[in-house]
Structure 1
Amino acid sequence: MFRPLATLFGLVFSAGVLATPVEDLDARWQGLKGFEGQFTQTQRDYDGTVLSESTGTLALSRPGRFHWAYETPYVQTIVADGEIVWVHDPDLKQVTRRPADAALDGTPAALLASGESLGKGFEVLALTTGEGAPTDADGWRLTPLTSEGEFERIDVWMRGNVPVLLTFSDPLGGTTDVRFDDIKGNPRFARDRFDFTPPRGHTVIGDD
């Protein structure tokens, strides 16, 4: 990964002062208008016991559009077109639709899809590299400024200007890791990449 702009990689200076953690993270995060690749999602209990693990592919275009496709251990596709979030369960022949604002509020997807400064909703602190941290990555801990969301904190690890690991910690001590692989930053998406039409013969449930 080449590094064309020092401002994207923690070397931002203003009047000779090193950028704050939120400025450093925002410089990278807001410069990433979209990405696509593979993911592994692992949910653990408070004692570290693995509760579930799933894999799939994702594509995201900010603000508010993404295509998140689970491939194992089950097939499910979640598509957000900027206004509506569609959840497609092919085994059930069922599609659920909800307004994006209501469906994404307080969820990991809202963090990924947002193009706003992370400092608006979180206290941001830099993390030091330690056990379990991705190699050659920089990390930040995001603590929500309100208690309305589903998570107590979110650890964001980026290599260059693309995310490699997000860890969401819930109030009961459980965690959800989302690891990204083969990520391409700011790709050119087809116009219909984030469109969704319910397949014929499927039941559609949700808000009109």
Structure 2
Amino acid sequence: MAILLGFHDIVIWIDVIAVITGAFLPFFLKGHFDEGVINFPHLVERFELLTIITFGEAVVGMTYFFDVTSFNITSILVFLIVISMFGSYVIQIHNLVNHHRVERSLRLMFSHYFIIISINLMTVAFEWLHSGEVNPHLEIGVMIISLIVFYASIMANKPYYKEGIKFLNGDLVKMILFTAVGSFVILFSMENIYLFLSGILIITLGNLSVLAKIQKKYLK
């Protein structure tokens, strides 16, 4: 039985390694590739739909924060967090990115792996917050990691920007600053749910404001 169990574990790990290798190895392979076979607009559209579905699932997973009989500030803050994250994604991927281009699109594909993962991690962190059964340190750590991964992943697509749009060093500094300050607030929130949510909002609304400013500046 022990031998069979060991063999079963090995097979599972081989499967996991095979999936990860198949997903990420193309990013490191160099050589001739016919970029014309990639329909970039269609690919962006597919990933946008997948992300919208993931955000929808996140909202469904947070329904316990919304009670029509006792609507409170917590519900509003949670809703603002999701909306501001979605707004950042829409501005960055849908509005600023040039969809009509010929690309191998690996950056787009791999970044969306992590975008989806980060949204799901955020949902899990909120579920832990509501249940109150998980160590606050773990909950805080997962939330901060999910937010950092989310914004790093959407910003990884800035090389696809439309012609003339520039992401300046000052914009990067602002996003890092908002993320750092928000993370600091989250770290010291512990049992205070309002402080916890406020820290998240500093990150999400702050980064949204930076992207919205870029959009307003370059897209008339």
TM-score, scaled relative to structure 2: 0.26
Query: Could you say which structure has the larger radius of gyration?
Result: 2
Normalized per residue, which structure has more strand?
A: 1
Normalized per residue, which structure has more helix?
A: 2
TM-score, scaled relative to structure 1: 0.27
